[in-house]
A and B are shown apart, each in its own frame.
Chain A
Amino acid sequence: MSTATLTSGLVTVGPDTEAASETRDDIMAAKQEAPVAAAPLAHAPAAEPRTSFGEHCSAFLRAVLPPLLGFAFIIGLWALVAMKSSDFPGPAKTLDAAITLFSDPFYQNGPNDQGIGWNILSSLKRVAIGFGVAALVGIPMGFIIGRFAFMNSMLEPIISILRPVSPLAWLPIGLMVFKAADPASTWTIFICSIWPMILNTAQGVQRVPQDYLNVARVLNLSEFKIITKILFPSVLPYMLTGIRLSIGTAWLVIVAAEMLTGGVGIGFWVWDEWNNLKVEHIIIAIFVIGIVGLLLEQCLLLIARRFSYGNN
Protein backbone atom coordinates (compact mmCIF):
# COMPACT_ATOMS: atom_id res chain seq x y z
CA MET A 1 0.00 0.00 0.00
CA SER A 2 1.20 3.46 -0.77
CA THR A 3 0.93 6.35 1.58
CA ALA A 4 -2.52 7.12 2.79
CA THR A 5 -4.65 9.22 0.53
CA LEU A 6 -8.18 10.33 1.04
CA THR A 7 -9.43 9.14 -2.27
CA SER A 8 -8.98 5.65 -3.56
CA GLY A 9 -5.40 6.00 -4.66
CA LEU A 10 -4.57 8.61 -7.20
CA VAL A 11 -7.56 8.22 -9.43
CA THR A 12 -8.91 11.30 -11.07
CA VAL A 13 -12.59 11.74 -10.88
CA GLY A 14 -14.89 10.55 -13.55
CA PRO A 15 -18.31 9.00 -13.68
CA ASP A 16 -18.07 5.55 -12.22
CA THR A 17 -20.43 2.67 -12.48
CA GLU A 18 -22.55 3.79 -9.61
CA ALA A 19 -23.42 6.98 -11.37
CA ALA A 20 -25.13 5.01 -14.07
CA SER A 21 -27.50 3.33 -11.65
CA GLU A 22 -28.37 6.64 -10.09
CA THR A 23 -31.84 7.70 -11.09
CA ARG A 24 -34.51 10.12 -10.12
CA ASP A 25 -36.20 7.34 -8.16
CA ASP A 26 -33.23 7.14 -5.86
CA ILE A 27 -33.58 10.77 -5.01
CA MET A 28 -37.27 10.41 -4.39
CA ALA A 29 -36.76 7.35 -2.26
CA ALA A 30 -34.10 9.13 -0.31
CA LYS A 31 -36.46 11.95 0.49
CA GLN A 32 -38.63 9.27 1.99
CA GLU A 33 -41.85 10.66 0.63
CA ALA A 34 -43.22 8.05 -1.69
CA PRO A 35 -46.68 7.17 -0.40
CA VAL A 36 -47.86 6.31 -3.89
CA ALA A 37 -45.65 3.21 -4.11
CA ALA A 38 -47.32 -0.06 -5.26
CA ALA A 39 -49.96 1.79 -7.29
CA PRO A 40 -49.06 0.28 -10.69
CA LEU A 41 -49.49 -3.21 -9.29
CA ALA A 42 -53.19 -2.67 -8.56
CA HIS A 43 -54.45 -4.09 -11.84
CA ALA A 44 -52.32 -7.19 -11.99
CA PRO A 45 -54.02 -9.70 -14.34
CA ALA A 46 -55.73 -12.66 -12.71
CA ALA A 47 -54.15 -15.07 -15.16
CA GLU A 48 -50.69 -14.31 -13.87
CA PRO A 49 -50.26 -17.26 -11.48
CA ARG A 50 -50.85 -19.73 -14.31
CA THR A 51 -48.24 -18.27 -16.64
CA SER A 52 -45.75 -18.02 -13.81
CA PHE A 53 -46.43 -21.67 -12.96
CA GLY A 54 -45.67 -22.61 -16.54
CA GLU A 55 -42.53 -20.51 -16.44
CA HIS A 56 -41.46 -22.17 -13.23
CA CYS A 57 -41.92 -25.57 -14.83
CA SER A 58 -39.83 -24.76 -17.85
CA ALA A 59 -37.15 -23.11 -15.72
CA PHE A 60 -37.08 -26.22 -13.56
CA LEU A 61 -36.74 -28.44 -16.61
CA ARG A 62 -33.97 -26.28 -18.02
CA ALA A 63 -32.08 -26.59 -14.76
CA VAL A 64 -32.62 -30.30 -14.18
CA LEU A 65 -32.69 -31.85 -17.62
CA PRO A 66 -29.05 -31.38 -18.71
CA PRO A 67 -27.55 -32.88 -15.54
CA LEU A 68 -29.97 -35.81 -15.73
CA LEU A 69 -28.97 -36.41 -19.31
CA GLY A 70 -25.33 -36.30 -18.28
CA PHE A 71 -25.86 -38.93 -15.62
CA ALA A 72 -27.91 -41.10 -17.97
CA PHE A 73 -25.14 -40.92 -20.54
CA ILE A 74 -22.39 -41.90 -18.12
CA ILE A 75 -24.46 -44.76 -16.66
CA GLY A 76 -25.25 -45.98 -20.17
CA LEU A 77 -21.58 -45.92 -21.09
CA TRP A 78 -20.72 -47.73 -17.89
CA ALA A 79 -23.35 -50.43 -18.58
CA LEU A 80 -21.91 -50.88 -22.06
CA VAL A 81 -18.36 -51.29 -20.79
CA ALA A 82 -19.51 -53.65 -18.07
CA MET A 83 -21.25 -55.89 -20.64
CA LYS A 84 -18.04 -56.31 -22.62
CA SER A 85 -15.91 -57.09 -19.59
CA SER A 86 -16.17 -60.10 -17.33
CA ASP A 87 -14.94 -58.68 -14.02
CA PHE A 88 -16.22 -55.11 -14.21
CA PRO A 89 -19.61 -54.79 -12.44
CA GLY A 90 -22.44 -52.97 -14.19
CA PRO A 91 -24.77 -50.33 -12.73
CA ALA A 92 -27.40 -52.84 -11.65
CA LYS A 93 -24.96 -55.01 -9.76
CA THR A 94 -23.40 -51.97 -8.14
CA LEU A 95 -26.77 -50.62 -7.08
CA ASP A 96 -27.58 -53.97 -5.53
CA ALA A 97 -24.34 -53.93 -3.59
CA ALA A 98 -24.94 -50.35 -2.53
CA ILE A 99 -28.36 -51.20 -1.14
CA THR A 100 -26.97 -54.03 0.97
CA LEU A 101 -24.08 -51.84 2.03
CA PHE A 102 -26.20 -48.91 3.10
CA SER A 103 -28.88 -50.99 4.74
CA ASP A 104 -26.43 -51.57 7.59
CA PRO A 105 -23.79 -48.85 7.47
CA PHE A 106 -22.82 -48.99 11.13
CA TYR A 107 -22.00 -52.62 11.86
CA GLN A 108 -18.83 -53.51 13.67
CA ASN A 109 -17.03 -56.86 13.25
CA GLY A 110 -13.68 -56.14 14.81
CA PRO A 111 -11.23 -53.37 13.93
CA ASN A 112 -10.76 -54.30 10.27
CA ASP A 113 -14.35 -54.98 9.29
CA GLN A 114 -16.68 -52.08 9.97
CA GLY A 115 -19.65 -50.57 8.15
CA ILE A 116 -19.11 -47.93 5.49
CA GLY A 117 -20.65 -45.31 7.78
CA TRP A 118 -17.88 -45.81 10.33
CA ASN A 119 -15.27 -45.59 7.63
CA ILE A 120 -16.61 -42.30 6.33
CA LEU A 121 -16.96 -40.91 9.83
CA SER A 122 -13.46 -41.78 10.87
CA SER A 123 -12.06 -40.20 7.70
CA LEU A 124 -14.11 -37.09 8.41
CA LYS A 125 -12.87 -37.06 11.98
CA ARG A 126 -9.24 -37.09 10.86
CA VAL A 127 -9.92 -34.33 8.38
CA ALA A 128 -11.70 -32.29 11.04
CA ILE A 129 -8.87 -32.58 13.54
CA GLY A 130 -6.01 -31.98 11.11
CA PHE A 131 -7.91 -29.18 9.50
CA GLY A 132 -8.95 -27.60 12.80
CA VAL A 133 -5.41 -27.55 14.14
CA ALA A 134 -4.23 -26.13 10.81
CA ALA A 135 -6.79 -23.34 11.15
CA LEU A 136 -5.69 -22.60 14.71
CA VAL A 137 -2.07 -22.31 13.60
CA GLY A 138 -2.44 -21.06 10.05
CA ILE A 139 -4.89 -18.20 10.48
CA PRO A 140 -2.92 -16.37 13.18
CA MET A 141 0.22 -17.01 11.17
CA GLY A 142 -1.45 -15.51 8.11
CA PHE A 143 -2.33 -12.42 10.14
CA ILE A 144 1.25 -12.07 11.31
CA ILE A 145 2.70 -12.55 7.84
CA GLY A 146 0.20 -10.14 6.34
CA ARG A 147 0.73 -7.47 8.95
CA PHE A 148 4.51 -7.46 9.29
CA ALA A 149 6.59 -7.17 6.16
CA PHE A 150 9.60 -8.53 8.02
CA MET A 151 7.83 -11.79 8.91
CA ASN A 152 6.62 -12.00 5.36
CA SER A 153 10.10 -11.85 3.86
CA MET A 154 11.38 -14.20 6.54
CA LEU A 155 8.80 -16.95 6.05
CA GLU A 156 7.96 -16.56 2.38
CA PRO A 157 10.90 -18.55 0.99
CA ILE A 158 10.27 -21.41 3.42
CA ILE A 159 6.60 -21.60 2.51
CA SER A 160 7.41 -21.41 -1.19
CA ILE A 161 9.66 -24.45 -0.90
CA LEU A 162 7.38 -26.51 1.29
CA ARG A 163 4.05 -25.75 -0.35
CA PRO A 164 4.55 -27.71 -3.59
CA VAL A 165 5.60 -30.85 -1.68
CA SER A 166 2.96 -33.56 -1.70
CA PRO A 167 1.64 -33.88 1.85
CA LEU A 168 2.13 -37.65 1.58
CA ALA A 169 5.86 -37.04 1.65
CA TRP A 170 5.33 -35.89 5.23
CA LEU A 171 3.62 -39.14 6.19
CA PRO A 172 6.80 -41.02 7.18
CA ILE A 173 7.78 -38.13 9.41
CA GLY A 174 4.36 -38.29 11.03
CA LEU A 175 4.75 -42.03 11.54
CA MET A 176 8.17 -41.50 13.06
CA VAL A 177 7.05 -38.75 15.41
CA PHE A 178 3.70 -40.15 16.50
CA LYS A 179 4.57 -43.84 16.22
CA ALA A 180 0.99 -44.60 15.17
CA ALA A 181 -0.93 -44.62 11.91
CA ASP A 182 -3.93 -42.62 12.99
CA PRO A 183 -2.22 -39.38 14.09
CA ALA A 184 0.16 -39.69 11.16
CA SER A 185 -2.63 -39.37 8.61
CA THR A 186 -4.13 -36.52 10.62
CA TRP A 187 -0.69 -34.92 10.44
CA THR A 188 -0.68 -35.07 6.63
CA ILE A 189 -4.06 -33.36 6.64
CA PHE A 190 -2.63 -30.68 8.88
CA ILE A 191 0.27 -30.12 6.48
CA CYS A 192 -1.86 -29.91 3.35
CA SER A 193 -4.48 -27.65 4.97
CA ILE A 194 -2.15 -25.12 6.46
CA TRP A 195 -0.69 -23.56 3.29
CA PRO A 196 -3.90 -22.26 1.75
CA MET A 197 -4.97 -20.90 5.12
CA ILE A 198 -1.73 -19.02 5.76
CA LEU A 199 -1.46 -17.66 2.25
CA ASN A 200 -5.08 -16.57 1.86
CA THR A 201 -5.28 -14.98 5.29
CA ALA A 202 -2.04 -13.12 4.68
CA GLN A 203 -3.31 -11.90 1.34
CA GLY A 204 -6.54 -10.74 2.93
CA VAL A 205 -4.66 -8.78 5.56
CA GLN A 206 -2.47 -7.17 2.94
CA ARG A 207 -5.52 -6.22 0.91
CA VAL A 208 -7.54 -4.48 3.57
CA PRO A 209 -8.55 -1.40 1.59
CA GLN A 210 -6.60 1.71 2.55
CA ASP A 211 -9.91 3.58 2.65
CA TYR A 212 -11.14 1.51 5.57
CA LEU A 213 -7.88 1.99 7.40
CA ASN A 214 -8.21 5.72 6.78
CA VAL A 215 -11.68 5.65 8.29
CA ALA A 216 -10.17 3.97 11.32
CA ARG A 217 -7.46 6.60 11.53
CA VAL A 218 -9.85 9.53 11.22
CA LEU A 219 -12.13 8.05 13.86
CA ASN A 220 -9.07 7.25 15.92
CA LEU A 221 -10.47 3.80 16.72
CA SER A 222 -8.90 1.71 19.44
CA GLU A 223 -6.73 -1.23 18.42
CA PHE A 224 -9.49 -3.59 19.58
CA LYS A 225 -12.11 -1.86 17.43
CA ILE A 226 -9.76 -1.80 14.46
CA ILE A 227 -9.35 -5.56 14.71
CA THR A 228 -13.00 -6.41 15.34
CA LYS A 229 -14.68 -3.82 13.13
CA ILE A 230 -12.23 -3.47 10.27
CA LEU A 231 -9.43 -6.03 9.99
CA PHE A 232 -11.34 -9.19 10.85
CA PRO A 233 -14.45 -8.56 8.73
CA SER A 234 -12.44 -7.55 5.70
CA VAL A 235 -10.11 -10.55 6.00
CA LEU A 236 -12.93 -13.01 6.63
CA PRO A 237 -13.83 -13.67 2.99
CA TYR A 238 -10.18 -14.42 2.18
CA MET A 239 -9.94 -16.65 5.21
CA LEU A 240 -13.01 -18.58 4.09
CA THR A 241 -11.50 -19.03 0.64
CA GLY A 242 -8.42 -20.49 2.31
CA ILE A 243 -10.58 -22.80 4.38
CA ARG A 244 -12.54 -23.94 1.36
CA LEU A 245 -9.39 -24.67 -0.66
CA SER A 246 -7.80 -26.57 2.17
CA ILE A 247 -10.81 -28.70 2.97
CA GLY A 248 -10.88 -29.65 -0.71
CA THR A 249 -7.29 -30.84 -0.72
CA ALA A 250 -7.68 -32.39 2.72
CA TRP A 251 -10.44 -34.60 1.41
CA LEU A 252 -8.27 -35.57 -1.57
CA VAL A 253 -5.29 -36.37 0.60
CA ILE A 254 -7.06 -38.35 3.32
CA VAL A 255 -7.99 -41.15 0.89
CA ALA A 256 -4.39 -41.57 -0.20
CA ALA A 257 -3.02 -41.29 3.32
CA GLU A 258 -5.39 -43.95 4.63
CA MET A 259 -4.51 -46.30 1.80
CA LEU A 260 -0.93 -46.11 3.02
CA THR A 261 -1.58 -46.32 6.75
CA GLY A 262 -4.51 -48.72 7.02
CA GLY A 263 -6.92 -48.80 9.95
CA VAL A 264 -10.48 -47.53 9.62
CA GLY A 265 -11.32 -44.97 6.97
CA ILE A 266 -12.74 -44.62 3.52
CA GLY A 267 -9.32 -44.75 1.87
CA PHE A 268 -8.38 -47.91 3.70
CA TRP A 269 -11.78 -49.38 2.91
CA VAL A 270 -11.17 -48.84 -0.83
CA TRP A 271 -7.86 -50.65 -0.57
CA ASP A 272 -9.38 -53.44 1.47
CA GLU A 273 -12.18 -53.98 -1.05
CA TRP A 274 -9.56 -54.11 -3.81
CA ASN A 275 -7.83 -56.88 -1.91
CA ASN A 276 -11.19 -58.64 -1.63
CA LEU A 277 -11.72 -58.02 -5.34
CA LYS A 278 -15.07 -56.34 -4.72
CA VAL A 279 -14.87 -53.87 -7.56
CA GLU A 280 -18.49 -52.76 -7.13
CA HIS A 281 -17.61 -51.54 -3.65
CA ILE A 282 -14.75 -49.49 -5.07
CA ILE A 283 -17.15 -47.86 -7.50
CA ILE A 284 -19.53 -47.11 -4.62
CA ALA A 285 -16.64 -45.64 -2.66
CA ILE A 286 -15.77 -43.36 -5.57
CA PHE A 287 -19.31 -42.02 -5.59
CA VAL A 288 -19.39 -41.65 -1.83
CA ILE A 289 -16.08 -39.79 -1.73
CA GLY A 290 -17.25 -37.52 -4.50
CA ILE A 291 -20.55 -36.74 -2.81
CA VAL A 292 -18.99 -36.07 0.59
CA GLY A 293 -16.39 -33.78 -1.02
CA LEU A 294 -19.12 -31.93 -2.87
CA LEU A 295 -21.14 -31.47 0.32
CA LEU A 296 -18.13 -30.13 2.21
CA GLU A 297 -17.43 -27.66 -0.56
CA GLN A 298 -21.05 -26.54 -0.78
CA CYS A 299 -21.28 -26.02 2.98
CA LEU A 300 -18.30 -23.72 2.90
CA LEU A 301 -19.57 -21.88 -0.16
CA LEU A 302 -22.80 -21.28 1.72
CA ILE A 303 -20.92 -19.86 4.68
CA ALA A 304 -18.74 -17.77 2.38
CA ARG A 305 -21.80 -16.32 0.68
CA ARG A 306 -23.19 -15.34 4.05
CA PHE A 307 -20.05 -13.26 4.67
CA SER A 308 -19.61 -11.63 1.29
CA TYR A 309 -20.97 -8.17 1.84
CA GLY A 310 -22.39 -7.54 -1.59
CA ASN A 311 -20.39 -5.86 -4.30
CA ASN A 312 -19.73 -2.69 -2.49
Chain B
Amino acid sequence: MNAIVKVENVGMTFDTKKGRFVALQNVNLQIRQGEVVSLIGHSGCGKSTLLNLIAGLTLPSSGAMICNGREIAGPGPERAVVFQNHSLLPWLTCFENVHLAVERVFGAKEGKDKLKARTNAALEMVHMSHAAQKMPHEISGGMKQRIGIARAFAMEPKILLMDEPFGALDALTRASLQDELIGVMEKTGATVVMVTHDVDEAVLLSDRVVMMTNGPAATIGEILEVKLAKPRDRLQLAHDPHFAECRGAILEFLYQKQMKKAA
Protein backbone atom coordinates (compact mmCIF):
# COMPACT_ATOMS: atom_id res chain seq x y z
CA MET B 1 0.00 0.00 0.00
CA ASN B 2 1.42 3.37 -0.96
CA ALA B 3 0.68 5.39 2.14
CA ILE B 4 1.94 8.95 1.81
CA VAL B 5 1.42 9.72 5.50
CA LYS B 6 1.81 7.20 8.29
CA VAL B 7 0.84 7.97 11.86
CA GLU B 8 2.20 5.23 14.09
CA ASN B 9 1.29 4.90 17.75
CA VAL B 10 1.33 8.64 18.16
CA GLY B 11 0.65 10.25 21.51
CA MET B 12 0.56 13.92 22.33
CA THR B 13 0.92 15.29 25.82
CA PHE B 14 0.78 18.97 26.70
CA ASP B 15 2.39 20.47 29.75
CA THR B 16 -0.13 22.83 31.22
CA LYS B 17 -0.33 24.80 34.42
CA LYS B 18 -2.54 22.12 35.90
CA GLY B 19 -0.07 19.39 35.04
CA ARG B 20 0.30 17.07 32.09
CA PHE B 21 -2.61 16.76 29.74
CA VAL B 22 -2.78 13.72 27.46
CA ALA B 23 -4.55 14.93 24.33
CA LEU B 24 -3.90 12.02 21.98
CA GLN B 25 -2.95 8.43 22.66
CA ASN B 26 -2.20 5.50 20.39
CA VAL B 27 -3.26 7.10 17.15
CA ASN B 28 -2.66 4.94 14.07
CA LEU B 29 -3.59 6.15 10.62
CA GLN B 30 -2.39 5.70 7.08
CA ILE B 31 -3.29 8.11 4.35
CA ARG B 32 -3.00 6.98 0.75
CA GLN B 33 -1.92 9.00 -2.22
CA GLY B 34 -4.81 10.94 -3.75
CA GLU B 35 -7.18 10.20 -0.93
CA VAL B 36 -9.47 12.65 0.82
CA VAL B 37 -9.72 11.96 4.53
CA SER B 38 -11.74 13.94 7.01
CA LEU B 39 -11.33 13.98 10.76
CA ILE B 40 -14.52 14.35 12.70
CA GLY B 41 -15.18 14.37 16.42
CA HIS B 42 -16.57 16.48 19.21
CA SER B 43 -15.02 19.83 19.85
CA GLY B 44 -11.84 19.61 21.92
CA CYS B 45 -11.17 15.95 21.15
CA GLY B 46 -7.86 16.62 19.43
CA LYS B 47 -8.60 16.98 15.72
CA SER B 48 -6.52 20.13 15.34
CA THR B 49 -3.79 18.57 17.43
CA LEU B 50 -3.58 15.64 15.02
CA LEU B 51 -3.61 17.92 11.99
CA ASN B 52 -0.88 20.11 13.51
CA LEU B 53 1.20 16.99 13.98
CA ILE B 54 0.84 16.06 10.32
CA ALA B 55 1.65 19.64 9.34
CA GLY B 56 4.75 19.45 11.53
CA LEU B 57 3.79 22.59 13.43
CA THR B 58 4.09 20.52 16.59
CA LEU B 59 6.03 17.34 17.19
CA PRO B 60 4.54 14.23 18.84
CA SER B 61 5.41 13.27 22.42
CA SER B 62 5.57 9.62 21.44
CA GLY B 63 5.28 7.48 18.34
CA ALA B 64 6.29 8.34 14.80
CA MET B 65 4.93 10.59 12.08
CA ILE B 66 6.13 9.69 8.62
CA CYS B 67 5.54 11.52 5.35
CA ASN B 68 6.89 10.09 2.10
CA GLY B 69 9.04 7.62 4.00
CA ARG B 70 10.66 10.31 6.13
CA GLU B 71 10.06 11.38 9.70
CA ILE B 72 8.19 14.69 9.88
CA ALA B 73 10.61 17.09 11.55
CA GLY B 74 8.82 20.37 10.97
CA PRO B 75 6.43 22.18 8.66
CA GLY B 76 7.19 22.48 4.99
CA PRO B 77 5.61 23.56 1.72
CA GLU B 78 4.97 19.99 0.58
CA ARG B 79 2.31 19.89 3.31
CA ALA B 80 0.30 23.04 2.67
CA VAL B 81 -2.17 24.22 5.26
CA VAL B 82 -5.47 26.04 4.85
CA PHE B 83 -5.96 27.73 8.17
CA GLN B 84 -9.32 27.97 9.78
CA ASN B 85 -9.22 31.75 9.95
CA HIS B 86 -7.65 32.09 6.49
CA SER B 87 -4.50 33.75 7.92
CA LEU B 88 -3.92 35.98 4.93
CA LEU B 89 -1.31 38.63 5.58
CA PRO B 90 -3.34 41.83 5.83
CA TRP B 91 -0.62 44.06 4.37
CA LEU B 92 -0.42 42.13 1.12
CA THR B 93 -2.98 42.08 -1.68
CA CYS B 94 -4.71 38.82 -2.50
CA PHE B 95 -2.35 38.37 -5.43
CA GLU B 96 0.71 39.01 -3.27
CA ASN B 97 -0.51 36.61 -0.61
CA VAL B 98 -0.68 33.80 -3.13
CA HIS B 99 2.47 34.93 -4.90
CA LEU B 100 4.47 34.77 -1.67
CA ALA B 101 3.77 31.04 -1.50
CA VAL B 102 4.32 30.45 -5.22
CA GLU B 103 7.62 32.31 -5.13
CA ARG B 104 8.81 30.27 -2.19
CA VAL B 105 8.03 26.93 -3.80
CA PHE B 106 8.87 27.55 -7.44
CA GLY B 107 11.03 30.71 -7.31
CA ALA B 108 14.29 28.81 -7.55
CA LYS B 109 13.58 27.14 -10.87
CA GLU B 110 11.03 29.31 -12.67
CA GLY B 111 11.07 32.79 -14.14
CA LYS B 112 9.01 35.77 -13.02
CA ASP B 113 6.39 35.40 -15.74
CA LYS B 114 5.84 31.77 -14.93
CA LEU B 115 5.39 32.57 -11.24
CA LYS B 116 2.86 35.25 -12.06
CA ALA B 117 1.00 32.90 -14.34
CA ARG B 118 0.87 30.30 -11.59
CA THR B 119 -0.50 32.84 -9.14
CA ASN B 120 -3.14 34.00 -11.58
CA ALA B 121 -4.11 30.43 -12.39
CA ALA B 122 -4.59 29.67 -8.70
CA LEU B 123 -6.80 32.74 -8.26
CA GLU B 124 -8.76 31.81 -11.36
CA MET B 125 -9.33 28.32 -10.03
CA VAL B 126 -11.23 29.67 -7.03
CA HIS B 127 -12.95 32.34 -9.15
CA MET B 128 -11.17 35.19 -7.45
CA SER B 129 -9.27 36.80 -10.32
CA HIS B 130 -11.38 39.93 -9.97
CA ALA B 131 -10.11 40.48 -6.42
CA ALA B 132 -6.43 39.96 -7.16
CA GLN B 133 -5.50 43.53 -6.34
CA LYS B 134 -7.79 43.86 -3.33
CA MET B 135 -6.55 43.84 0.23
CA PRO B 136 -7.87 41.04 2.45
CA HIS B 137 -9.93 43.41 4.59
CA GLU B 138 -11.80 44.56 1.49
CA ILE B 139 -13.30 41.16 0.74
CA SER B 140 -15.76 38.95 2.59
CA GLY B 141 -14.92 36.00 4.82
CA GLY B 142 -15.83 33.45 2.17
CA MET B 143 -13.61 35.17 -0.37
CA LYS B 144 -10.71 35.24 2.08
CA GLN B 145 -11.10 31.53 2.61
CA ARG B 146 -11.03 31.08 -1.19
CA ILE B 147 -7.74 32.97 -1.35
CA GLY B 148 -6.40 30.79 1.46
CA ILE B 149 -7.34 27.71 -0.57
CA ALA B 150 -5.78 29.18 -3.69
CA ARG B 151 -2.58 29.87 -1.77
CA ALA B 152 -2.41 26.28 -0.57
CA PHE B 153 -3.20 24.71 -3.96
CA ALA B 154 -0.79 27.03 -5.76
CA MET B 155 2.05 25.38 -3.86
CA GLU B 156 1.16 22.06 -5.50
CA PRO B 157 1.64 20.29 -2.19
CA LYS B 158 1.91 16.54 -1.85
CA ILE B 159 -0.73 16.78 0.77
CA LEU B 160 -3.16 19.49 1.70
CA LEU B 161 -4.22 20.00 5.30
CA MET B 162 -7.34 21.93 6.16
CA ASP B 163 -8.52 22.76 9.66
CA GLU B 164 -12.26 23.42 9.59
CA PRO B 165 -11.80 25.48 6.45
CA PHE B 166 -15.43 26.54 6.28
CA GLY B 167 -16.17 26.53 10.00
CA ALA B 168 -16.74 30.26 10.27
CA LEU B 169 -18.96 30.62 7.21
CA ASP B 170 -22.72 30.58 6.84
CA ALA B 171 -24.44 27.60 5.23
CA LEU B 172 -24.88 29.12 1.78
CA THR B 173 -21.31 30.25 1.39
CA ARG B 174 -20.11 27.00 2.82
CA ALA B 175 -22.03 24.97 0.25
CA SER B 176 -20.68 27.02 -2.60
CA LEU B 177 -17.11 26.68 -1.33
CA GLN B 178 -17.55 22.94 -0.87
CA ASP B 179 -18.63 22.63 -4.50
CA GLU B 180 -15.65 24.67 -5.54
CA LEU B 181 -13.35 22.49 -3.47
CA ILE B 182 -14.80 19.35 -5.07
CA GLY B 183 -13.94 20.84 -8.46
CA VAL B 184 -10.42 21.79 -7.46
CA MET B 185 -9.72 18.41 -5.86
CA GLU B 186 -11.04 16.68 -8.96
CA LYS B 187 -8.75 18.74 -11.18
CA THR B 188 -5.61 18.32 -9.08
CA GLY B 189 -6.10 14.84 -7.64
CA ALA B 190 -4.74 16.18 -4.37
CA THR B 191 -4.30 14.21 -1.19
CA VAL B 192 -6.33 16.02 1.43
CA VAL B 193 -6.74 15.75 5.18
CA MET B 194 -9.55 17.90 6.46
CA VAL B 195 -10.88 18.59 9.93
CA THR B 196 -14.60 19.22 10.09
CA HIS B 197 -17.43 19.16 12.55
CA ASP B 198 -20.06 18.96 9.82
CA VAL B 199 -21.33 15.44 9.12
CA ASP B 200 -22.68 16.22 5.66
CA GLU B 201 -19.48 17.93 4.67
CA ALA B 202 -17.46 14.92 5.76
CA VAL B 203 -19.53 12.50 3.69
CA LEU B 204 -19.79 14.80 0.69
CA LEU B 205 -16.07 15.45 0.35
CA SER B 206 -14.17 12.44 1.64
CA ASP B 207 -13.18 8.92 0.70
CA ARG B 208 -12.77 8.01 4.34
CA VAL B 209 -14.13 9.58 7.48
CA VAL B 210 -11.95 9.17 10.56
CA MET B 211 -14.02 9.42 13.71
CA MET B 212 -12.26 10.35 16.90
CA THR B 213 -13.24 9.44 20.44
CA ASN B 214 -13.65 12.10 23.08
CA GLY B 215 -10.61 13.39 24.90
CA PRO B 216 -8.63 13.39 27.04
CA ALA B 217 -6.43 10.64 25.60
CA ALA B 218 -8.48 10.66 22.42
CA THR B 219 -7.80 8.17 19.69
CA ILE B 220 -9.37 6.97 16.48
CA GLY B 221 -12.68 5.26 17.15
CA GLU B 222 -13.90 4.14 13.76
CA ILE B 223 -13.03 4.69 10.15
CA LEU B 224 -15.82 4.83 7.59
CA GLU B 225 -15.28 4.26 3.88
CA VAL B 226 -17.51 6.44 1.73
CA LYS B 227 -18.10 4.45 -1.43
CA LEU B 228 -19.86 7.10 -3.45
CA ALA B 229 -18.82 7.69 -7.04
CA LYS B 230 -16.97 10.93 -7.79
CA PRO B 231 -17.54 13.63 -8.78
CA ARG B 232 -20.36 13.96 -6.33
CA ASP B 233 -23.37 16.16 -6.64
CA ARG B 234 -25.05 17.34 -3.49
CA LEU B 235 -28.54 17.30 -5.01
CA GLN B 236 -28.34 13.71 -6.20
CA LEU B 237 -26.72 12.57 -2.97
CA ALA B 238 -29.70 13.74 -0.97
CA HIS B 239 -31.62 10.71 -2.25
CA ASP B 240 -28.75 8.23 -2.28
CA PRO B 241 -29.20 5.35 0.19
CA HIS B 242 -25.45 4.93 0.75
CA PHE B 243 -25.14 8.62 1.58
CA ALA B 244 -27.87 8.27 4.19
CA GLU B 245 -26.16 5.14 5.51
CA CYS B 246 -22.81 6.91 5.94
CA ARG B 247 -24.47 9.88 7.52
CA GLY B 248 -26.31 7.59 9.91
CA ALA B 249 -23.15 5.75 10.88
CA ILE B 250 -21.32 8.98 11.74
CA LEU B 251 -24.26 10.41 13.65
CA GLU B 252 -24.56 7.20 15.59
CA PHE B 253 -20.88 7.29 16.47
CA LEU B 254 -20.99 10.93 17.53
CA TYR B 255 -24.26 10.97 19.40
CA GLN B 256 -24.55 7.47 20.83
CA LYS B 257 -21.14 5.94 21.23
CA GLN B 258 -19.34 9.21 21.97
CA MET B 259 -22.16 11.17 23.53
CA LYS B 260 -20.68 14.20 25.15
CA LYS B 261 -21.90 15.05 28.59
CA ALA B 262 -23.70 18.33 28.23
CA ALA B 263 -21.07 21.00 28.69
Question: Does chain A bind chain B?
Answer: yes
On whether the beta carbons of A3 and B137 are closer than 8 Å, the reply is: no
Quick one: given A22-B170, A27-B172, A30-B146, are A229 and B89 in contact (CB under 8 Å)? yes
A8 at the interface (CB under 8 A from B): yes
**26 residue pairs bridging A and B, Cβ less than 8 Å apart:** A4-B58, A5-B57, A5-B58, A6-B84, A7-B48, A13-B197, A15-B170, A18-B141, A18-B168, A19-B141, A26-B140, A29-B143, A30-B140, A30-B176, A211-B83, A211-B85, A214-B83, A218-B79, A219-B155, A220-B77, A220-B104, A309-B135, A310-B137, A310-B138, A312-B90, A312-B136
B128 at the interface (CB under 8 A from A): yes
- In the complex, which residues of chain B have a beta carbon less than 8 angstroms from the beta carbon of A211? 83, 85, 87
**Chain B interface residue bracket vs A:** 35 or more
Contact of B91 among A8, A15, A23, A309 (CB under 8 A): A309
Q: How far is the CB of A301 from chain B (nearest CB, A)?
A: 19
Q: How far is the CB of A311 from chain B (nearest CB, A)?
A: 6
Nearest residue in B to A312 (C-beta to C-beta)?
B90
On whether the beta carbons of A4 and B169 are closer than 8 Å, the reply is: no
**Chain A interface residue bracket vs B:** 35 or more
Contact of B164 among A7, A15, A307 (CB under 8 A): A7
A24 at the interface (CB under 8 A from B): yes
A212 at the interface (CB under 8 A from B): yes
Contact of A32 among B90, B127, B169 (CB under 8 A): B127
Nearest residue in B to A27 (C-beta to C-beta)?
B176
Chain A-chain B contacts (Cβ-Cβ < 8 Å), number: 144
- In the complex, which residues of chain A have a beta carbon less than 8 angstroms from the beta carbon of B104? 219-221, 225
B residues with CB within 8 A of A: 14, 43-44, 48-49, 51-52, 55, 57-58, 74-77, 79-81, 83-85, 87-92, 100-101, 104-105, 127-131, 135-138, 140-144, 146, 155, 161, 163-164, 167-170, 172-173, 176, 197
On whether the beta carbons of A26 and B91 are closer than 8 Å, the reply is: no
A residues with CB within 8 A of B: 3-8, 10, 12-13, 15-16, 18-19, 21-24, 26-27, 29-32, 211-212, 214-215, 217-221, 225, 229-230, 233-234, 307, 309-312
On whether the beta carbons of B89 and A22 are closer than 8 Å, the reply is: no
Contact of B87 among A32, A214, A309, A310 (CB under 8 A): A214
Distance A233 CA – B48 CA, assembled complex (angstroms): 28
- In the complex, which residues of chain A have a beta carbon less than 8 angstroms from the beta carbon of B76? 218, 220
Q: Which of A215, A221, A230, A234 counts the most B-chain CB atoms under 10 A from its CB?
A: A215
Q: How far is the CB of B212 from chain A (nearest CB, A)?
A: 14
- In the complex, which residues of chain B have a beta carbon less than 8 angstroms from the beta carbon of A24? 172
Which 10 A-B pairs give the minimum distances between C-beta atoms? A310-B137, A18-B141, A309-B90, A13-B167, A312-B90, A26-B140, A12-B43, A233-B91, A211-B87, A6-B163
Contact of B130 among A21, A22, A32 (CB under 8 A): A32
- In the complex, which residues of chain B have a beta carbon less than 8 angstroms from the beta carbon of A229? 89, 92, 100
Q: How far is the CB of B74 from chain A (nearest CB, A)?
A: 7
- In the complex, which residues of chain A have a beta carbon less than 8 angstroms from the beta carbon of B138? 310
Contact of B168 among A16, A29, A215, A312 (CB under 8 A): A16
Q: How far is the CB of B133 from chain A (nearest CB, A)?
A: 14
